[in-house]
Amino acid sequence: MKETKLFGREEECRKLRRCLRKTEAQLVVVYGRRRVGKTFLINEFFEKRFDFKLTGSYNATKESQLENFTLELNRRSKVATSVPRNWKEAFEHLQTYLSGLPADEKHVVFFDEMPWMDTNGSDFLPSFEYFWNSFGNSCDHLVFIVCGSATSWMVENIDRNKGGLFSRKTCSLHLEPFTLGETEVFLRSLGIDWSRYDIAQCYMIMGGIPYYLGFLDEELSLSANIDRLFFSKGAELGDEFDNLFRTLFKHSEQYIKIAEILSQKRYGMTKKELAQQAGMSYNGEFSQRLKRMTDAGFIHAISYYRQKKKETRYQLSDYFTMFYFRFAKDHYGVDESYWTHTYDNPSRVAWAGLIFEQLCRDHLPQIKQRLGISGVLTEASTWRIKAEEDREEETGAQIDMVLDRRDHVISLCEAKYSQNVYEIDKAYDLVLRNKVEAFRKATGTTKSLQLVVITTYGVKQNKYSNQIQGQVVLDDLFEKER
């Protein structure tokens, strides 16, 4: 299979090749954030050569979906078949067609956007379960690929199904956004040769989402591209946010509200705090909303050092969504050169510092690799202690990333986003010393503490830099994980 257009998907391609070598029937589950490139991966890997392919239609009726099914089946089989009355009958037609194909070669079926086929009262899922258990599972030459952007649906109904499809999947592909390094390669394939500083800024706006990156114009600067895509009238990504949530979640306004509240909370919120501020009932359904948003890659549960489960905090983690609420939502169409005009705006500088922390967390393997601890079992978390109101001599402290290592060392990592080499002055030197001491005192740890600074261009050597025991720079985050 050709792979020339596939960037950063080596492991997924390896798994797909393995499925083709298998002598048993294969049920392949593909899921991941919308726009991450799931359909592109499957189309490119198989060179769009499918024995049958059906794409679900958003918000379409069962009847409309079945009409689409029939059109595709008639085209593939070259036999006129009437529209089935229900999905059970549709899968019977599919079984008849597949049974007539040569048994000495592999046959690939691709159901894209499968969750959209499962409309209310359609009985799609039970019909598919029956089809797979009664026919597909014993059809050794069949590779059946199911794909969807509604990640929770895919996880709950296919990947971790506890009913008729329990333990039936043979391969699961969870597509992640590109890393910084993969993004650099992808941009070069588009004729875009930016500095790594600019690529990192682009990543902090769009994340490693191929669909968004594909809109970039190689003839324009980064700032001009962002103005064109987000702030100009008729901007190409101007309505992407609304479309994104509407097509992923039923009652999308509830999910948008949760995302907007979290966009204003740097340190996240507990489930109970979030429910109260959103004006939603603190119950199982609310927990399910958070799970769906977590599965879809929009939020994540923050791991705090030695945190109790009930104190778990949730934080917005999708770059595109964070950028939308911070800038695009209120400035779309107001100033078509907004991003260019606010280059040194304090709000933008503060945003960059915050998002750089997220960028570091999302490239933990690269950080461990730079520190020489890739093979060391490590638990990553963050840490924060509030100042006691009745004890004026103590102040609060926060550490961006705590790497608790099996080799009895704890790396305390501080992320500092800077346009130049970062210089530690007397005031920040005191801050760092206080953080280390506060952590040691509050946790009572007996492990060795290593202070690590993660910056764009490194730390300037001076009389205050000696306490830094490890450094990670932006270039390190672009390295391929070995």
210 contacts 36 by C-beta, under 8 angstroms: yes
Tokens of 226: 């962002």
CA atoms within 13 A on the CB side of 282: 8
Q: What is the mean pLDDT of residues 338-347?
A: 92
| Cβ contacts of 7 within 8 Å, gap of 6 or more | 178, 182, 185, 186, 189, 210
Across 113-117, 264-268, 271-275, least confident range:
264-268
Return the higher-pLDDT residue of 385 and 356.
Answer: 356
- Alpha carbons 16 and 107: distance in angstroms, whole number: 13
Q: What is the mean pLDDT of residues 258-264?
A: 96
pLDDT above 70 (res 5) = no
- Write down the pLDDT at residue 1: 32
- Alpha carbons 82 and 272: distance in angstroms, whole number: 52
Tokens of 97: 């067609």
- Alpha carbons 211 and 331: distance in angstroms, whole number: 23
pLDDT above 80 (res 311) = no
- Write down the pLDDT at residue 2: 34
Query: Quick one: how many helices (H) and strands (E) in the chain?
Result: 21, 13
pTM summary value: 0.91
Residue 414 has a CB neighbour count (10 Å cut-off) of 21
- Alpha carbons 375 and 369: distance in angstroms, whole number: 9
Q: Provide, rounded to the nearest whole percent, the portion of the chain with pLDDT above 70.
A: 96
115-149 pLDDT, tens digit each: 999 999 999 999 999 999 999 999 999 999 999 98
Q: What is the DSSP string of 241-295?
A: HHHHHHHH-TTHHHHHHHHHHHTT-TT-EEHHHHHHHHT---SHHHHHHHHHHHH
> Would the CA dihedral through 39, 45, 49, 50 be positive or negative?
negative
225 contacts 217 by C-beta, under 8 angstroms: yes
- Write down the pLDDT at residue 409: 97
Q: What is the DSSP string of 21-57?
A: H-SS-EEEEEEESTTSSHHHHHHHHTTT--SEEEE--
- Write down the pLDDT at residue 389: 41
- Write down the pLDDT at residue 310: 65
298 contacts 318 by C-beta, under 8 angstroms: yes
Q: List the Cα angle 248/59/92 in 5-degree steps.
A: 105
The radius of gyration of the chain from alpha carbons, rounded to an integer in Å, stands at 25
Residue 440 has a CB neighbour count (10 Å cut-off) of 15
- Write down the pLDDT at residue 309: 66
Residue in the structure block whose two tokens are 């005191």:
430
Q: What is the DSSP string of 76-123?
A: HH-S--PPPSSHHHHHHHHHHHHHTS-TTS-EEEEEESGGGG--TT--
Q: Provide, rounded to the nearest whole percent, the portion of the chain with pLDDT above 90.
A: 83
CA atoms within 13 A on the CB side of 305: 23
- Alpha carbons 280 and 272: distance in angstroms, whole number: 10
435-456 pLDDT, tens digit each: 999 999 999 999 999 999 999 9
12-45 pLDDT, tens digit each: 999 999 999 999 999 999 999 999 999 999 999 9
pLDDT above 70 (res 231) = yes
pLDDT above 50 (res 412) = yes
- Alpha carbons 360 and 290: distance in angstroms, whole number: 23
- Alpha carbons 445 and 305: distance in angstroms, whole number: 11
State the burial class of residue 132 (Cβ atoms within 10 Å of its Cβ: 0-12, 13-18, 19+): buried
Collapsing DSSP to helix, strand or coil, 130 comes out as helix
pLDDT above 90 (res 205) = yes
- Write down the pLDDT at residue 392: 42
Point out which residues pair with 32 in neighbouring strands. 175
Go through the domains of the chain in sequence order and give each one's CATH number.
Answer: 10-175 (3.40.50.300), 180-238+332-357 (no CATH), 244-317 (1.10.10.10), 364-477 (3.40.1350.10)
With residues binned 3-state (H G I as helix, E B as strand, rest as coil), the percentages for the chain, rounded to 5, are 45, 15, 40
Residue 411: band (very low, low, confident or very high) from pLDDT cuts 50, 70, 90: very high
380-410 pLDDT, tens digit each: 999 998 765 434 444 678 999 999 999 999 9
Residue in the structure block whose two tokens are 């890393």:
179
- Alpha carbons 306 and 296: distance in angstroms, whole number: 26
Q: What is the DSSP string of 382-428?
A: EEEEPPPTT-TT---EEEEEEEEETTSEEEEEEEE--SS-B---HHH
Tokens of 432: 């760092």
Residue 281: band (very low, low, confident or very high) from pLDDT cuts 50, 70, 90: very high
- Write down the pLDDT at residue 275: 96
pLDDT above 50 (res 291) = yes
Return the higher-pLDDT residue of 7 and 199.
Answer: 199
